[in-house]
Amino acid sequence: MKVIDLLNAGSKKLKHNGILSHRLDSEIFLSKVLSKKREEIIIDQNNTIKTEKVSEFDNMIARRANKEPVAYIIKEKEFWSKIFEVNKSTLIPRPETELMVEKLIDIYKRKKISILDIGTGTGCILISLLDELQNSSGIGIDISKKALIVAKKNAKKHGLKNIKFINVDLSKYFLHKFDLIVSNPPYIEKNTIKNLHDDIKRYEPLIALNGGNDGLDVIKKVIYKSKYILKINGKLALEIGNEQYKKVSTILFKNSFKIEHIIKDYKDNIRCLISKLIGN
């Protein structure tokens, strides 16, 4: 079977199943199957594909037609121009989180700091920061042992040695004080999870999505705990959900934090707050 025919067949099936990115996804899958760049595949569309590769491609298309995210099917996701391993034990890294990483690198460039990443998942935030801030060190914590296996693999893949990962609940973590705490915690209201797209609510780990009845359960814990394990004038970078800015701002203020930077996503929603601890 030729590349062009395979791409067309895959794209048609995905489109029939309501996948808007049907053509792109089809190209990504074939690229993965053939271990070639998408550009190469598009140029050489008359090449013939071996039967076993066709079968592998068809399996990926079937999974995507059932709304499974592309990242879980190909077992990787690009973040901060790096490829990170992902699986169903980890949240898929989002482009808007790169905006937080970009700002933090700008703030701390050429400085030596200690970083704690709360709910590290794939480790993409901490690994990206430490890859840029090469004199710094960091610890990623997560209550999911399976997520930490992925994070450790990613750290090794990207050659980081100034990093460690610990399987521990935030409430029990009292090692030392940090210059920077980062967190992308669960912030979705429990009763609205059912309204999320199928590729999120059916496949991504619920523990990484569920923020409790008001979406703020974990955010409150992160802020409260950070007050005790941040150095004075240390910073807390916190990703939040849409329309949570006012409530989270109030919680930060009550816990002796002063907001220094507000980061908006590509749709102009406030999605990250960087605040400074001014007392405790």
Q: Given pLDDT bands bounded at 50, 70 and 90, which one contains residue 36?
A: very high
CATH of domain 3-66: 1.10.8
Check residue 170 and give its pLDDT: 86
The answer on pLDDT for 206 being more than 70 is: yes
Q: How far apart, in whole angstroms, are the C-alpha atoms of residue 103 and residue 115?
A: 15
Looking at the predicted structure, is the pLDDT value of residue 47 above 90? no
CATH number of 76-277: 3.40.50.150
Q: Which two tokens stand for residue 221?
A: 């814990």
Q: What is the pLDDT of residue 174?
A: 67
Residue 46 is predicted with a pLDDT of 82
Q: By C-alpha distance, which of 237, 218, 236, 223 is closest to 96?
A: 237
**Quick check: do 3-66 and 76-277 share a fold?**
no
Q: What is the mean pLDDT of residues 250-272?
A: 95
Give residue-wise pLDDT tens across range 152-178. Answer: 999 999 999 899 999 998 888 666 799
Q: Which residues contact 96 (CB under 8 A, 6 or more apart)?
A: 239, 265, 266, 271, 272
**pLDDT for the residue 245:** 95
Least confident of 18-27, 85-94, 146-155, 193-202: 193-202
Closest among 55, 51, 28, 50 to 41, alpha carbons compared: 28
Q: Give residue 171's pLDDT.
A: 83
Work out the angle at residue 80's Cα, subtended by the Cα atoms of residues 29 and 165, and round it to the nearest 5 degrees.
Answer: 100
Full-model pTM: 0.93
Whole-number pLDDT of residue 242: 86
pLDDT for position 265: 92
How many angstroms separate the CA atoms of 39 and 3, rounded? 13
Residue 43 has pLDDT above 90, yes or no: no
Confidence check: pLDDT of 198 > 80: yes
Quickly state the pLDDT bin for 246 (edges 50, 70, 90). Answer: very high
Least Cα distance to 216 among 257, 185, 253 occurs for 185
Instruction: Tell me, letter by letter, the H, E, C secondary structure of the chain.
Output: CEHHHHHHHHHHHHHHCCCCCHHHHHHHHHHHHHCCCHHHHHHCCCCECCHHHHHHHHHHHHHHHCCCCHHHHHCEEEECCEEEECCCCCCCCCHHHHHHHHHHHHHHCCCCCEEEEECCCCCHHHHHHHHHCCCCEEEEEECCHHHHHHHHHHHHHCCCCCEEEEECCHHHCCCCCEEEEEECCCCECHHHHHHCCHHHHCCCCHHHCECCCCCCHHHHHHHHHHHHHEEEEEEEEEECCCCCHHHHHHHHHHCCEEEEEEEECCCCCEEEEEEEECCC
Look at residue 44 in the predicted model and tell me its pLDDT: 80
pLDDT at residue 139 tops 90: yes
Flag whether pLDDT at 280 surpasses 70: no
Q: Is the pLDDT of residue 247 over 80?
A: yes
Task: Report domain extents, the chain.
Answer: 3-66, 76-277
Mean pLDDT over the full length of the chain: 94
Average confidence (pLDDT) over 271-280: 90
